[in-house]
Amino acid sequence: MIKRLIKKILNFEFNKRKKKKKNLKNANKKYDIFKNKWFLALAALTIFSFFFSNILFWFFLLLFAVIISKLIQIFFPFVVGFDWGSFACIVLGYYIHPIVALVFVSIASTIGCIFRGQHKAELMLLPIFGYISITLFFLFFPANNIAFFTIGIILTFLYGIINIFFSYFFMGRIDVNSFTFIITLIINNFFLFKYISPYIIKSIGL
């Protein structure tokens, strides 16, 4: 009886340590991407562009921020909208050109998904459908006559709605993740358009 009890205690401790070790290993994996040679190369390219052109630097910095924002999701147990993709697409679409914004932000978003380990085609396409909706808005509506902050908020809602619509289309349901995504997206983009975009626009000289 005592022998059996001791064995149970030892097994419990062993499993506890094994689980702790596994959790630690998974936690360390989250940071492995920041040691990836391609990730570091993109970071170096962004820094290097600073010495050539202010516009080029902010262009690459926004795209790099899109990649980074895709990695933020690995730190949350639910879907969040701390995504710079919609913000970058709106800024570049408004001040440079919608098609340029669509192409380069879509590439950056896809790279971010790959770095994050998200290889399902439908999940990689979800944000791109949102970028397409932003691009179509710029192409068919005279957005330059409207204040940039107003356009940013309108297109944030459009991006969120399109994202949720295609989430339902691909997965057949709208769950709590849809609500956490749209709420955090609105909060995130409100902050970016209110406080970050004026600084970027002023730095670029637009």
Strands (E), 96-195: none
Burial of 6 (0-12, 13-18, 19+ CB in 10 A): exposed
Q: Is the pLDDT of residue 10 over 50?
A: no
pLDDT in tens, 170-201: 777 777 888 899 999 999 999 999 999 998 88
Q: Is the pLDDT of residue 158 over 90?
A: yes
Q: What local confidence, expressed as pLDDT, does residue 18 receive?
A: 47
pLDDT in tens, 63-101: 888 988 888 888 888 888 888 999 999 999 998 899 999
CA angle 27, 191, 179 (to 5 degrees): 65
CB 33 within 8 A of CB 115: yes
Q: What local confidence, expressed as pLDDT, does residue 206 receive?
A: 63
CB 84 within 8 A of CB 192: yes
Q: Of residues 39 and 34, which shows the higher confidence score?
A: 39
Burial of 180 (0-12, 13-18, 19+ CB in 10 A): middle
Q: What local confidence, expressed as pLDDT, does residue 36 receive?
A: 66
Q: What local confidence, expressed as pLDDT, does residue 90 receive?
A: 95
Query: What are the backbone angles phi and psi of residue 94, rounded to the nearest 5°?
Result: -75, -45
Q: Is the pLDDT of residue 168 over 70?
A: yes
Task: Give the Cα separation of 175 and 180 in Å (integer).
Answer: 9
- The pair of structure tokens assigned to 136 is 């179509």
Q: What local confidence, expressed as pLDDT, does residue 117 receive?
A: 78
- The pair of structure tokens assigned to 149 is 């902050």
pLDDT band at 19 (very low <50, low <70, confident <90, very high): very low
Task: Give the Cα separation of 10 and 52 in Å (integer).
Answer: 63
pTM: 0.78
